[in-house]
Structures are given as structure tokens and as C-alpha cells.
Structure 1
Amino acid sequence: MGGQIGVIADSPQQIRDNLVKVVVYYQQLNYEQIEEEPSLTEIDVISNMGGLIGLWVGFSVCTLAEFFELFVDVLFFMVRQCLSKARKSASASGYTNPYSGKGSPIFIGQTTSKL
């Protein structure tokens, strides 16, 4: 087979018997061209990502501020609790703090008045 041409048909009659004619008919001779365009350009995508990053950073800064405020509130609450316990234990032992009065420059306490 190397270099030899193979014989497909030996006679014209054999060629005529094995010949196939294909005819293709189109219903319409027009075509439809579909073009796709991106809904967002590269600039739009980058802009949207930047906006979302700014939004999440803003949320995280607000959250950090809220946690800081919570920490300060809890700290003040604990200090007030410790001071009230110290006053109760001091009054139980008979000691009176000279700075616990309303006229004291470092008065720490809450007063209520009836209206």
C-alpha cells in the first residue's frame, strides 16, 4: 500500500450504481444573525465592586463603633457595681465616707427627687 493508489471502482457501471446525489432545499433563503452584547462593561463591574466594598467597610466600621460603645457601657456598669458593693460593705462595718455627700466635689451617685 505504500505509494500505490487504490482502485475505488473497476467499471463505469459500478460507479453509476454507487453514486448518490444529495439535493438540499431551503424553505427560506434568509438567515438570522444573533449578536450578543455584555450588559455590563468592565468599568461598570469595577465600579460595582468598589461600591460594594465601600458598603461593607462602612458596615464594619459602624459595627466596631457599636462594639466599642458596648464595651464602655459594660465597663461603666461594672465600676458602678463595684462602687455600690464597696459602699454597702463600708456602711455595714460602720465606716462612713466623708466624700459620699451631695456637697462633696467628687460625689458619685444618683439622687432622685419627688416632684
Structure 2
Amino acid sequence: MEDKYTTREHTAFAHKFTRHAIASILGAIFSMGLCIAAGVNDLNVWSAFFAVIMVGCAIYALGYLRYRLMHVHCPECNTLCETYNDKTIRQWIANCHRCNIRWKLGVGSKSTSNIN
């Protein structure tokens, strides 16, 4: 059976996704450091406050990044694409059924430069 999709790199998705992931992780790490510092200095109320912020950053990161993976729009026609994790190339893919384009999102456990 012939594949009707052409494969292309998605423009700027990986950069935005990585930027949000790093910002969320850094926020959680910073809050964890403040939580530990407040706990060491017997500031239990502040320690609990920073612990809540740390958990909030982690939940935000997981929820938002999952949302971004499931709501990818085609750069050509702005249609919502169907996304899935392609196990053979270990990367997230978005299929646009309107344009018949398979977009490599640049997110996964293998860099896009190693994929043919």
C-alpha cells in the first residue's frame, strides 16, 4: 500500500515545546531550592508555600506539554493534526489529513538530525 503522506519538519514546534519544558522545570527546581532553604531555617509556612508552588509547576509542565503535543496545528492550513508517538523513529509525529503531510515535530528520544 502506497503512503499518501509527504514527510516534512514542523516549523518551530520543537523550539517552543522545549522552551516551555525548560521554563517549567527550572521553576520547579527553583521552588524546590526555596522550599529546602526555608525548611532548613525553620520557616515551615514558607517551606510549605514553596512546596505547593513546586508541585504546581510540575503539574503545569505535565499538563501543558501534553496539551501542546495533542493540539498541533498544521503550518500550511492551520488545521488540527492527529498526533502520535512513532516507535520506529522514536519521535512525535503530526498527520495533517487535509494537506496529506506528516510533520516531524522534533520531540522525542532521538534528534531530528539522525532521522532520514
Q: TM-score, normalised by structure 1?
A: 0.35
Rg larger in 1 or in 2? 1
Which structure's relative contact order is higher, taking Cα pairs within 8 Å and 6+ residues apart?
2
Q: Which has the higher strand share?
A: 2
Q: TM-score, normalised by structure 2?
A: 0.34
